[in-house]
Amino acid sequence: MCTPDDRLPYMLASGLSDTIILDIISNYLVLPNRITVPLVSELQIAQLRFPIPKGVLRIHFLEAQDLERKDTFLKGTIKGKSDPYGIIRVGNQIFQSKVIKENLNPKWNEVYEALVYEHPGQELEIELFDEDPDKDDFLGSLMIDLIEVEKERYLDEWFTLDEVSKGKLHLKLEWLTLMPTVETLDQVLKSIRADKDQANDGLSSALLILYLDSARNLPVMELWLQSDPKGKGEFDIGLAL
C-alpha cells in the first residue's frame, strides 16, 4: 500500500495536464507576493527620472577664418571657395548653423543654449562642412571638454580646427549655473539685454522644468472612432521648479 507522498511520481507519469501538475507543485511551494516598498518620496522619484540639469552651456558660434577651399568648377580646373556651416553637439542636443555662401572667413554670430546634465567626459563637439548639392565636404572639427568650460566659466577664444590643414574657429562659451530663486532675475535680464547685439537669437534668462505626470481621457484617434471630436483631455502636471 502506498502513502500519499508515494503517489506523486505515479500521477506525473500518467499524463496529467500541465495545469494540474502546476497546481500540485504549487501546493508544495509558497510563492511570494510582490510587495512594493517605496524607498523615496514621490518628489524624489520625479527628480531621479527627470533630473535637474547641472548647468547650461551657452555657445556663441561666432566666426571662422582661413577655411579650406572645397569647391571647384569646370571639372576641378577652377578652384572656388566653400559654403561653410557648423554642426554643434552637446550630448544628444544638436544644432546646425546657417550656411554662409562662398566665404572662407564666415561670420555666423549665432547662439545656442544646451542643457548639461552629467558632464564628466562630455564634450562640446563641433564640425564644419562646406555645403554642396550632393555630399558636403568636411572643413574641420573641434572638441572641447565641458569640465574646462565649467572651470573657466567664460571662454572667448580662437580655436585651431582639427583634422584639416588650416582654419580656425572663434567661439565664446559661457557656463551658466542654475539658481533656485528668482532674486537675481533682474540682473540676469539686464546682462542679456547688454549682450543682445552679439546674437541673432534671444538668450534665455530662466529655465522652467516641466514634466508631464499623467494624462486621462485623451481623444481616440479619429481614424478609428469619432468619439470626443473636440479632443478634450485632462493632464496632471508636476512642477519641479
Handedness of CA 121, 137, 105, 202 (dihedral sign): negative
Which of positions 13-32 make contact with Ca ion (CB under 5 A)? none
Q: Which CB sits closer to Ca ion, 79 or 151?
A: 79
Instruction: Output the smallest distance, CB 154 to Ca ion, in A.
Output: 34
Q: Which is nearer to Ca ion, 60 or 70 (CB)?
A: 70
- Of residues 167 through 206, those in contact with Ca ion by CB under 5 A are none
Find the shortest distance in angstroms from Cβ 168 to Ca ion.
20
Of the pair 76, 231, the CB lying nearest Ca ion is at 76
Q: Which is nearer to Ca ion, 130 or 174 (CB)?
A: 130
Total of chain residues touching Ca ion, rule CB under 5 A:
6
Binding status of residue 132 toward Ca ion by CB under 5 A:
yes
Asked if 90 and 116 touch (Cβ cutoff 8 Å), the reply is yes
| Residue 137 is a binding residue for Ca ion (CB under 5 A) | yes
User: Is the CB of residue 172 less than 8 Å from the CB of residue 126?
Assistant: no
Residue 237's contacts (CB-CB under 8 Å, 6 or more residues apart) are 210, 211, 212, 213
If binding is defined by CB under 5 A, does position 81 make contact with Ca ion? no
Neighbouring C-beta atoms of residue 17, cutoff 10 Å: 8
CA dist., res. 234 & res. 241, Å (int): 22
Check: CB of residue 46 under 8 Å from CB of residue 36. no
* Cα–Cα distance for residue pair 150/58, rounded to 1 Å: 11
What distance in Å separates the CA atoms of residue 182 and residue 164, rounded to the nearest whole number?
Answer: 46
- In the complex, minimum distance from the CB of residue 59 to Ca ion, in angstroms, rounded to a whole number: 24
User: Which lies closer to Ca ion via its Cβ, residue 47 or residue 103?
Assistant: 103
* Positions in 47-76 near Ca ion (CB under 5 A): 70-71
Q: Site residues for Ca ion, window 111-130 (CB under 5 A)?
A: 130
Place of cell 580662437: 158
Q: Which amino acid is at 79?
A: K
Shortest distance in whole angstroms from residue 159 CB to Ca ion = 23
In whole angstroms, the minimum distance from the beta carbon of 91 to Ca ion comes to 29
Contact segment (CB under 5 A) with Ca ion among 57-65, 78-86, 116-124, 147-155 equals 78-86
Grid cell in block for residue 67: 577655411
Rounded to whole angstroms, the Cα distance separating 111 from 197 reads 11
Q: State the minimum distance, in angstroms, from the CB of residue 72 to Ca ion.
A: 7
Contact residues toward Ca ion (CB under 5 A) are 70-71, 83, 130, 132, 137
